Structure 1
Amino acid sequence: MKYNKVSFIIHLCNIIVFAFSFSLSAKAQTSSDNSIYYRNAIVNPTEPNDLPSGIHFFTKKKDKDLELNDTLNAIYDLRLLSIAEFKIGNNFNSENHAVEALNIIESMGTKDTLIDSRVGLYNQLGRIYRTSNNPTEAIRTFDKALEIANKLKDSVIILNNKANVYKDELDYIKALDIYTLLHKKQAQLNTYELALVADNLGQVQSKLNLPEGLQNLKNALELREKNNDFIGQHSSNTHLAEFYLDKKDTTIAKMYAEKALALSGKINSSSFKLEAISTLMNMDRNPLLHEYKKLTDSITNAKQIAENKNAFLKYNVAEEQKKTQASILLQEIESRKRLAYQSLAFIIFLILVGSYFIYRNRYRKAKIEEIYKTETRIAKKVHDEVANDMYKVMTSLENNSGVDSNVIDEMEKIYTKTRDISRENSAIDLRNDFDLQLNDLLLGYKNNKVNVITRNLSKMPWNTVTEHKKTAIYRVLQELMTNMRKHSKASFVTLIFKKEGSKIQIIYRDNGVGCDLFKKNGLQHTESRIASLNGTINFESKQGDGFKASIII
């Protein structure tokens, strides 16, 4: 009886242990089955909810694996999360997951044994940088993956992705070289890789107008349909739509674009859907729609560049920052000192340059004012002292019957010249309408023998011109007109006024006898006036062919 009780207890314990072991095994099997299921949902999604559910599952699994210090599984989880986020179109999260996985690998002493994981993560980062409009970083990252890749399958995928970057940059020749090289290895490729290479090769061949391009595109689509590869089918249909759109066959192009749009719904990827809609929009003839697409693309690209938080670069920087804290602090102090000295030197330089221009401007302005004051003072003296005295002498001589009338005539000529000199250098009242004053000056030289014509004089914005420039223009034109009356024997004078940006251009021309051009005192004086205002005056003349002057001020 005692024996039976002992046997019963032992048997009961065995049953409990077996049941407990079976329960643990079932849970482990269930967990493993779930991992396989959600991995397939990410790698080859067939339902709209596959990617979101896969992200949810592996996010929880990653957190648990990190708690248990199961780094290998955590790296595996992060790789799948990066792939899933990328397919949805969330590049920022995808990049962060990949870099987090690389950081874990770098912290492990056995990183050189995790070749497959590192190759996959670098390849994933390259794809992210490609879609983030960072081709330089994408090529660099793909090259880094190729350096450590030791499997043909990995090399095929990476080389294909590298060629895709060249294709994006419209460097079709470099892309074609890589795709052609891969296509020659088709005997070593599986159906997925064959379709991938054929599709991209066909697209580049089509862009280069090579006849075999269309057939390669169709072959790729057929392989992907057999493999039930929705993401691949989306890519093939998009490329075929672009092919027929380039050929101006919008009917067939629209058919393939609509297929791509339907596939994006099955994949549940906003980025794929946006790409399909963009292709359809390219077929619409509405110019407003094309303008809207152009603007939205521009805004999206600018936003992508502005918000491109490159986690991989942060990872590289973190590696460089494994120096001592004292060294970093010293570098910061030296950098701040250098920046302070540079800033101080730059400020002093700006002050010196600014002071030079201010001083030069004031000096030039003072010099011009002094010239005008001197001219006005001389004109007043000539009028008040010389001309008035001459007039008194003439009056007294006229009352003397014994004086020769020719002498009085000559004195009257001298008086007239003196008065003219005084008028030519007297002060100009710039408070009144300058165009009227200038017009009166020019018409004062008009007579029965000389016709003076002006063009655009009244249309010039004289109210925006400084008094110094107005005075210079007045005096220079006065000198040219006086020179014409004294020397040219012209019967026709034209003056054309133009506004050239912030500059005023005046073109003077007469039909006088002309001369062998040399700088007389009057012409030298006009050059000095214009040069003092940073302007230019050029003369053209020769015997028998009139006189021309071009003024820019």
Structure 2
Amino acid sequence: MALALIHCSEKSKKTASIPTKNAHYTKAGDYRDSGNYDSAFVYYNIAKNDFLKINDTLGITKSLINMAIIQTDYGDFFGGIETSLEAEKFLKNNDSITNQLKSSNYNNLALANDELENFDNAQKYYNLALNTTQDNESKYIYYNNIGNTFLGLRNYQKAREYYARALRTKDSISYARTLNNIGRSYFLENKNANALPYFSKSLEIRETKNDSWGLNSSYATLADYYKEKNAQKSLFYAKKMYEIAQKINNPDDQLEALQKIIFLENPIKSKELFKKYDLIRDSVQTERNKAKNQFALIRYETEKKQIENQKLKTETVEKENRILRLYFLLFLLLISIFGGYFWYQRRKKILELEKEREINNTKIKYSKKVHDVVANGLYQTMVELQNKEEVIKDKLLDQLENLYEKSRDISHEPSEDASLEFYKKISLMLSSYSSEEIKVIIIGNTEHLWTNISEKKKKELFYVLQELMVNMKKHSFANLVAIKFEKNLENLFIKYTDNGVGIQDLEKKTGTGLRNTGTRIATIDGVINFEKNPKGGLIVTLNIPI
């Protein structure tokens, strides 16, 4: 049985050893092939960690399976099971290579459980190995091993059913092994059964093939067979087993052979042999204990070294990152300094331009005020003097004094006559331009019209209308002027019409007064349009939102 398991283990080693591109994996294979299994285990573990870094599941699995096989072969059965179960987590695909690896891994799990006499688990994993392998010779080996588990369970009939399947093998060594196992099943079931032909045929094939491991198994079986039938023959085969167990360096089989010899040999020799037995047993126990811990220790040391290396790399990277951050902060500081300098210069220039614009706007503002308040007011007074036959001296003096007060402090807002309602003020201003030569018609200027119109809009509209009337008086030669006021819920509409000569080069409208009207209307979000009157003269429309 031991020979069959070891042979199967050798088979699984070959199955798991699929080449891969990794220096540590290759080195591990070299150590394994030369029999240096401790070093092989170390490098398979390093290779596994290499594959983990690049997420190469195939490489990870192959490394773990080889590690598990080494553990099982060295008697670390629980460790071998643990490592195989770890490998199983990565065997998710269903392709031919993955199935081959699954078969090898299941076989190792079965072997370890078989050695621990967990025969039910061993059968489960052998059957899984059978279902995943495509190699017939591997299947025959698994049939043989399943037969061995039934033999361990003393189900001899079931064991022979699987041995019968295993006999289909074309490999003579496997065939001899199965013959020997069939003989054992008959002998264990019935000590008087005729099992010798199976043992003899198996021994003959093994001697022909010089199969040392197989001969070791045959000698053990024959020593048991003759134990009660022929003590001398039993002792002969026990001694042959001991010799070959020493040759193949199998301490477990040496112990088994010594047990048989001690039982059959005379007491004097048995005493010496017992000392040797104790010595080997202690050595085997020590090796077993060592095997249980050495691979775990190897993995621990390897992992610890890799963690330390990774920690060193991390510290180096962090140091480099700190230096880079310092350079980056220095770069940002320099950028900030230069950026701040250029921003200051640009801001300074913008402020200078804004100051210059403010000065220009102030000039324009005062110019417009002089034009609106003084020039137009003075012109309106002149028009009244021209249009009226009688001039009231006191009223004229009041008007002139008012213009004087306004011009003395032009930067302040002009004082308004609060006692006069706005619609009357508008009518008064427009009517002042009416004379015998010029007829001014005012339509729709009522008190209700100016309700909800802001004071700012009223003031600006007053100056715009005043500017239009001044322009008419100076340039249009009109004798008829109409100003129409209308309002809806959203807008105020004013339409100015005269029958004068109109404005030459209407598109340009270069006069200061006309430019002022456009500016004023824009400040109150209104729209002003100048059009030629089809009947001759000028039409100006104003649209102001309420």
User: What's the TM-score, normalizing by structure 2?
Assistant: 0.40
